Amino acid sequence: MPTLESLARRRPTSLEVIHQLLSSLVARYRGEEVLTAVRQIPAREANFRPLPSWVTSALAEAYRAKGIARLYSHQAKSIELVRGGANIVVVTPTASGKTLCYNLPVLNAIMEDSDSRALYLFPTKALAQDQLAELQDIGKRLSDSFAVFTYDGDTPNDARKAIRERGNIVLTNPDMLHTGILPHHTKWMRLFEKLRFIVLDEVHIYRGVFGSHLANVLRRLKRVARFYGSDPQFICSTATIANPGELASQLIEKPVEVVDEDGAPAGEKLFVFYNPPLVNRNLGIRRSYINQATRVAKELLAQNLQTIVFVNSRLHTEVLLTYLQQANLPKPGKPDPICGYRGGYLPGERREIERGLRDGRILGVVATNALELGIDIGCLDACVMAGYPGSIASTWQRAGRAGRRSGSSCAVFVASSAPLDQFIVRHPEYFFGRSPEQAHIQPDNLEILVNHLKCAAFELPISPDERFGSVDLAELCEQLGEVGFLDQSGGNWHWIDEAYPADAISLRSVTSDNVVIIDSSGKDNGKPEVIGEVDFSSALTTVHPKAIYIHQGQQYHVEQLDFDKRKAYVKPVKVDYFTDAIRYTEVRVLDIAEEQRIQGPAVRAQGDVLVRSQVVGFKKIKFFTNENVGSGRLELAENEMHTTAFWLTLGHSLLLDLPFSLSQRQNGIFGLLYVLGSMATLLMMCDRRDLGTAIGERPPGAASEIDWEEFATSPPKITQAKEFFEPNLYIYDAYPGGIGFSEPLYRVSNMLLNSTRELIGSCPCEIGCPSCVGPTQEASEGTKEVTFEILTRLTREARLVATRTAETE
């Protein structure tokens, strides 16, 4: 860890301020490890290359007029590769001029042939708007010799025809491509006939379900392009992840060249990890990270440093905003210097805030991830992150919001007491080293694939020798024919159904089944009002009858869940407890794809499983004290899905060898599952909801021998009553068919176990806390110790090396 003195060589303004701030923090909490990392990232010189001679003179002139006469090395490399016909993925941090990597080849192609077309896909509408402004600016300098439009749900109907006919560059999003463009491809004939490029921006967003869907949408797009005789080239860009090439080539199913050098200049940056001090060592409770982040932000703002504060929820945006606005009252006659920015603000408001940030009128902004992606807000001085953004890639993107182009800046990460936050803040080397995060997709997830196959058949008849990736379609078409969606005629499979299949498929989840939440009290206008929705799979745990559903800080009591109509009726209430559903989950192994004996002795494996789950009851838990103040039984439908899982089987001898009591051992197993689940989400860049965990007994057939209901309502009893002989610890994909986490988890299982052990080993709590092995009660003492011991046995070799582990292959 660098000492503070070592930073003192150069002291630009913001560094100086942060330096003072750091000293005061160190002084206040001496003895506690509050600042776990202070890294100075030195300024970097630009690496220039000349503009290649093949760039048309008009375009070169237009860029020169914008002040771009030379290219950064990565830009030059990218455009040369594209010129040579390659599909590329550009991996660069924020503000390194990656848009030029795709705009220049596209515009050059249009200059050479004014009929050339390109399709840009952005994960959000806001990003498309931002790019539109950029392209229009160049367009003006080229005397409007090309047409660029956005095409999304907001595009007025009368403008659509012109866009389809004339747009050289169409900026859209995957959802619109899926429901609006591909099913109507004949109207887009002009575009598809001359489609030269497809630009995929921010591809690291396309992971998990969304990515698996997008890969299939792209399969359809390529089919339609082929129908019109074009074979477009792909240009992708991504934030830093461990496997950019793999992800991009999985998405587009073509070989991809990776450009990952960075020739852009960067200003000096100070990166600080701040762990709020402990207030209760036993329970692992720390000072509120929201308050701590507010303090840091206040001091930065007090020095007149333009600051962005990132929080992870809309609610916290408002909380932090209130604190900061109180501390920075507007000057008479001037607008508020501190603003909020999150989903739910109107587009006009957002544009106003973006402009205010660029021209310096706004000093501070409290934002959610809405401001994380490429939207241009100029260069700020400082960034404070309240809570871990969920992935290293996001963290760097957020930090990149400060000091985009030049000058010095600082980024402060304030950790919450969640396990991931605690792991990251205590293992800075994990963060600052090469990114271990992998983005994975499973385009061949059968549920997703079949849905897109239906759309594909709607778009163009499917010939029997067609394939989606490596999947033969003939057999699936046969099946779809049997249930009456398709009909084989003249050799090809034709869509014969009235429904418009794309409408029924949402790209952002596996099935578009949603449960609508209706406030039946009619407090606003006397009419029942829809206040939100939850996806089908989580409906059972969040809006079961008698649950307390919390929406925008307001509690609602669920009166009725109408499962068939997909509606939940709620009424606002004010109570001092929340509910936690008790779910019974049973996993049965269907097919073992890979299996290997590991240290321990234990076994690691991955394959297909059947997960059956049922919500059998719920607990009422009091706010703040987390006391259990009651419970209830529920009789809800059972949910069954085929999916993929990674699992560990702990050998019987391993458990017998442990110098602990039976109940302690059982607690240790549950603690291990909890912490493995947390760590897996970190490695897989996914949400906690994307992975499910469960314990079962080996042999697989008799997975559930324990009385689950009893276990769920009173955990301590079961630990005395039953003993696992050889437990299986499952981490499964929480989507039917699996979305590609299991195999990568199997591959990195050594890393998973080692990181998990480090997490527990470095947690300062005594008997286990929510930051490591999960919340513990008096009866479950020893959990942390046992968990650590099991992990030690599983990673015996690694203990000897005692350093960070390398990924296993």
Residue ranges that bind other proteins, judged by CB under 8 A: 183-187, 189, 227, 444-447, 450-451, 454, 457-461, 469-472, 475-476, 479-480, 482-484, 487, 489-492, 494-501, 503-504, 511, 591, 593, 642, 736-737
Q: Which is nearer to other proteins, 189 or 530 (CB)?
A: 189
Q: Which is nearer to other proteins, 171 or 224 (CB)?
A: 224
Least separation, in Å, of the C-beta of 224 and other proteins? 9
Q: How far is CA 525 from CA 41, 446, 557, 667, 734, in A?
A: 55, 45, 20, 51, 39
Provide the phi-psi class of 666: left if phi over 0, else alpha when psi is between -120 and 50, else beta. Answer: alpha
Q: Which is nearer to other proteins, 241 or 449 (CB)?
A: 449
Least separation, in Å, of the C-beta of 472 and other proteins? 8
Least separation, in Å, of the C-beta of 167 and other proteins? 18
Q: Which is nearer to other proteins, 216 or 394 (CB)?
A: 216
Least separation, in Å, of the C-beta of 462 and other proteins? 11
Least separation, in Å, of the C-beta of 511 and other proteins? 5
Q: How far is CA 546 from CA 540, 631, 635, in A?
A: 11, 10, 12
Q: Are 223 and 460 in contact (CB under 8 A)?
A: yes
H or E element at residue 582: strand 577-598
Least separation, in Å, of the C-beta of 200 and other proteins? 22
In this structure, what is the dihedral angle of CA atoms 650, 738, 243, 688, given to the nearest 10 degrees?
Answer: -70
SS (H, E, C) 699-761: CHHHCCCCCHHHHHHCHHHHHHHCCCCCEEEEEEECCCCCCCCHHHHHHCHHHHHHHHHHHHH
Q: Which is nearer to other proteins, 254 or 652 (CB)?
A: 254
Least separation, in Å, of the C-beta of 553 and other proteins? 31
Q: First-to-last CA distance in the chain?
A: 30
| Angle made by CA atoms 38, 43, 46, in degrees to the nearest 5 | 150
Least separation, in Å, of the C-beta of 590 and other proteins? 9
Q: Are 611 and 694 in contact (CB under 8 A)?
A: yes
Q: Listing from the earlier edge strand, what are the strands of the sheet with 548-551?
A: 529-535, 514-519, 567-573, 554-562, 548-551
Write out the two tokens for 681. Answer: 């989400």
Look-up of token digits 């509910």: 579
Least separation, in Å, of the C-beta of 451 and other proteins? 5
Q: Are 441 and 131 in contact (CB under 8 A)?
A: no
Least separation, in Å, of the C-beta of 213 and other proteins? 13
The C-alpha atoms of residue 146 and residue 139 are separated, in whole angstroms, by: 7
Least separation, in Å, of the C-beta of 226 and other proteins? 12
Q: Are 491 and 438 in contact (CB under 8 A)?
A: no
Provide the phi-psi class of 564: left if phi over 0, else alpha when psi is between -120 and 50, else beta. Answer: alpha
Q: Which is nearer to other proteins, 106 or 457 (CB)?
A: 457
Q: Are 46 and 72 in contact (CB under 8 A)?
A: yes
Q: Which is nearer to other proteins, 162 or 779 (CB)?
A: 162
Q: Are 493 and 464 in contact (CB under 8 A)?
A: yes
Least separation, in Å, of the C-beta of 446 and other proteins? 5
Estimate to the nearest angstrom the gap between the alpha carbon of 349 and the chain centroid: 26
The C-alpha atoms of residue 1 and residue 425 are separated, in whole angstroms, by: 13
Burial class (CB in 10 A: 0-12, 13-18, 19+), 140: exposed
